[in-house]
Amino acid sequence: MSIAAKTALNANNETIRSALSHHWPLYLYEGFELALFMISACVCTVILFHSGYPALLAIPSAVVRRILMGAGMGVTAILIIHSPMGKRSGAHFNPAITLTYLRLRKIAVWDAAFYVLFQFMGGIFGVGVSSLLLGKQLADPSVEYAVTVPGRYGTAAAFAAEFFMAAVLMAVVLWMSNRPRIAPYTSYAMGALIALYILLFAPVSGFSINPARTTGSAVFAHLWPACWLYFTAPLLGMLGAAEVYLRSNGADSILCAKLHPDPAYPCPFRCHYPFHRHSHFTGE
C-alpha cells in the first residue's frame, strides 16, 4: 500500500473514531426513537385490528379504526420529536430523512452512516420487544407484526403512494423547520401528516415511508413482497423534494437537520440557527 493510501486510510479511521467518540449517544437515541415508534405501532395495531380485542366489534368501521391508528401514531411521532432524545439527535428515526440531510450537506458522512445503522437496529429491536410483550397476538394474520406490504391496488400504486407521502413530508419539514418563527410547529405538522397518511394510504401501501420501519416488521413476519419499493420510493421522494427546495431557496436557506431546533440542546449538525450551542461536528 502506498504512503498516500495509508495516510488516507488512517485519516478515515480517525474520522470514524472521532464520530463514535463524540456522537455515540446520538446513534443510540436514533435507534431507541424508532424502537419506541415500532412498539407503539405494534401495540396500536393489535388493539385496533386483532380479533380478540373489543375494538374490532365495538368499532366495526375500518376507516374509524384507521383514524384512531393514525392519531396514535401521529401523537407518538410528536412525543418522540419533543423528547430530550429527539431534541438532541434531531429525531430523524428514518434512514430516508438522514440520507436526505446528507445530500443537503447538513450531517457528516459517518454520522449519517451510524444514524442509518442504528435506525435499522432500532426498528428490529422495537418489533422484537413488541413480540415479547404481545406474543402470538402480534403474529396473528390480522396483525402480522404490523408489516407493510402493497395493498389491493398493486405494487405500482404502493410505490406511487410511498413516493408521494415522502415527498410531501420532506417538503413540509424543509419549509417549516427552516423558518425560525414556525419551526417549533414542524413536529405537529408531521404528526398530522402521519395521521392523514394512515387514513388515506394504509390500504394502498401499508404506510411506511421508512425503510427501517419496514425492515423491523418484515424480519419477524418473514414477508418481503416488493420490499425494494419501501427502500427506494421514500428515499427518492424525499430527495426529490429536497432538490426542489434547494434549487428554489438555495443552500444557505437550509439552517439545520433537526426536526425541532431547541436552544437548550447542543446541535451536532452543520447548523446555522443563531441560538444553537454546537457540539463536536465530525465532518469536514
Closest CA to 173 of 235, 103, 109, 256: 256
What confidence score (pLDDT) does residue 86 get?
97
Rounded CA separation 223/5 (Å): 43
Residue 278: φ, ψ to 5° = -105, 135
Q: How far apart are CA 19 and CA 115, in angstroms?
A: 11
- Where residue 107 falls (left for φ over 0; alpha for ψ -120 to 50; beta otherwise) is beta
Contacts of 58 (CB under 8 A, 6+ apart): none
Predicted TM-score (pTM) of the model is: 0.91
In the chain, the N- to C-terminal Cα span, in Å, equals 25
Alpha-carbon distances of 230 from 21, 77, 95, 113, rounded to whole Å: 32, 19, 11, 19
d(CA 100, CA 137): 36
The pLDDT value given to residue 282: 61
pLDDT of residue 217: 97
Q: How many CB atoms lie within 10 A of CB 205?
A: 29
Residue with cell 404490523: 146
Q: How far is CA 266 from CA 34, 52, 263, 282, in A?
A: 21, 46, 7, 14
Q: How far is CA 48 from CA 39, 43, 65, 76, 200, in A?
A: 14, 9, 6, 16, 17
Helix (H, G, I), strand (E, B) or coil at 50: coil
Q: 267 by DSSP, 3-state: which?
A: strand
Q: Which of 49, 31, 56, 207 is nearest to 128 (CA)?
A: 31
pLDDT at 272: 85
Domains of the chain as residue ranges with CATH? 3-253 (1.20.1080.10)
**DSSP letter (8 states) at residue 278:** B
pLDDT per position in the chain (284 positions), as tens?
555 444 444 444 557 877 777 889 999 999 999 999 999 999 999 999 998 899 988 999 999 999 999 999 999 999 999 999 999 999 999 999 999 999 999 999 999 999 999 999 999 999 999 999 999 999 999 999 999 999 999 999 999 999 999 999 999 999 999 999 999 999 999 999 999 999 999 999 999 999 999 999 999 999 998 999 999 999 999 999 999 999 999 999 999 999 998 888 999 888 888 765 666 556 55
- Estimate the share of the chain in helix, then strand, then coil, as percent rounded to the nearest 5: 70, 0, 30
Give the contacts of 5 (CB within 8 A, at least 6 positions apart).
none
Residue 267, phi then psi, degrees to nearest 5: -115, 130
3-class DSSP state of 57: helix
Task: Give the closest residue to 97 by CA, choosing from 208, 225, 23, 6.
Answer: 208
pLDDT of residue 2: 58
- pLDDT score, position 277: 61
E strand spans, the chain:
none
Whether the CB-CB separation of 150 and 202 falls below 8 Å is answered with no
Residue 6: the pLDDT is 43
Identify how many contiguous H helices and E strands the chain contains and give both numbers.
11, 0
